[in-house]
């Protein structure tokens, strides 16, 4: 039972079941498989985005205010760094696989160009691509560097940490807001 409860076990068993499903249902289309990888990575990315915004950040705020409680140290030391690693990798995977899908759909680099310039037939996914790009940028270049200061992974003064909290929170809020229409464009384009 310990294997099924491990991260590696869950991933491996899920992949084996997905491969079995592919063969059983004759799902061999490369585009469909790439869409599946894109959606899986996106689910992880957006799920963690929502976890941070709706669960972890409010809980850490409450923990700071609870003078009789254990405080937020365990979350900041053990949970947040691990969640942020999965968050960054899911963002990168989602974005890179999304670019691959655009290339597959439009004949290479032309497909990427068609989407990012909102060419006819690519307006929906073009908008989604831009929102996803902004969100991935926020993860890697605003949220992550600021979280490193907040969590003590990089040295920072109290003033720098306060600024980092505001910047990370704003970028994260923007990502939550953009995630709603971005998910709609993903689904509408694949429909």
Whether the predicted pLDDT of 189 surpasses 80: no
Whether the predicted pLDDT of 59 surpasses 80: yes
For 163-174, write each residue's pLDDT tens digit: 999 999 999 999
Question: Quick one: average pLDDT of 137-159?
Answer: 97
Q: Residue 83 has what pLDDT?
A: 96
Tell me which residue has tokens 């006819």.
120
Burial class (CB in 10 A: 0-12, 13-18, 19+), 24: exposed
Domains of the chain by residue range: 29-190
pLDDT band for position 190 (cuts 50, 70, 90): low
Instruction: Give the separation between CA 95 and CA 32, rounded to whole angstroms.
Output: 17
Do 54 and 70 contact (CB within 8 A), yes or no?
A: no
| Chain mean pLDDT for the chain | 93
For 83-111, write each residue's pLDDT tens digit: 999 999 999 999 999 999 999 988 899 99
Q: Residue 180 has what pLDDT?
A: 97
Instruction: Give the separation between CA 52 and CA 115, rounded to whole angstroms.
Output: 30
SS3 labels along 94-107: HHHHHHHHHHHHHC
Contacts of 141 (CB under 8 A, 6+ apart): none
- CA nearest neighbour of 103 among 94, 92, 114, 87: 114
């Amino acid at each position: 039972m310990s294997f099924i409860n491990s991260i590696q076990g869950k991933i491996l068993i899920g992949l084996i079941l997905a491969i079995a499903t592919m063969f059983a249902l004759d799902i061999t289309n490369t585009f469909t498989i790439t869409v599946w990888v894109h959606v899986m990575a996106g689910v992880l990315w957006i799920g963690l985005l929502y976890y941070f915004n709706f669960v972890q950040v409010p809980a850490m705020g409450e923990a700071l205010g609870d003078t009789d409680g254990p405080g937020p140290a365990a979350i900041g030391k053990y949970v947040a760094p691990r969640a942020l690693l999965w968050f960054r990798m899911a963002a990168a995977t989602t974005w890179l696989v999304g670019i691959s899908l655009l290339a597959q759909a439009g004949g290479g680099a032309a497909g990427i160009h068609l989407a990012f310039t909102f060419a006819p037939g690519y307006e929906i996914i073009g908008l989604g691509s831009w929102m996803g790009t902004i969100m991935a940028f926020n993860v890697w270049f605003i949220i992550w560097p600021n979280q490193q200061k907040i969590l003590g992974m990089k040295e920072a003064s109290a003033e720098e940490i306060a600024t980092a909290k505001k910047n990370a929170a704003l970028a994260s809020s923007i990502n939550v807001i953009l995630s709603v229409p971005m998910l709609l464009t993903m689904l509408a384009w694949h429909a």
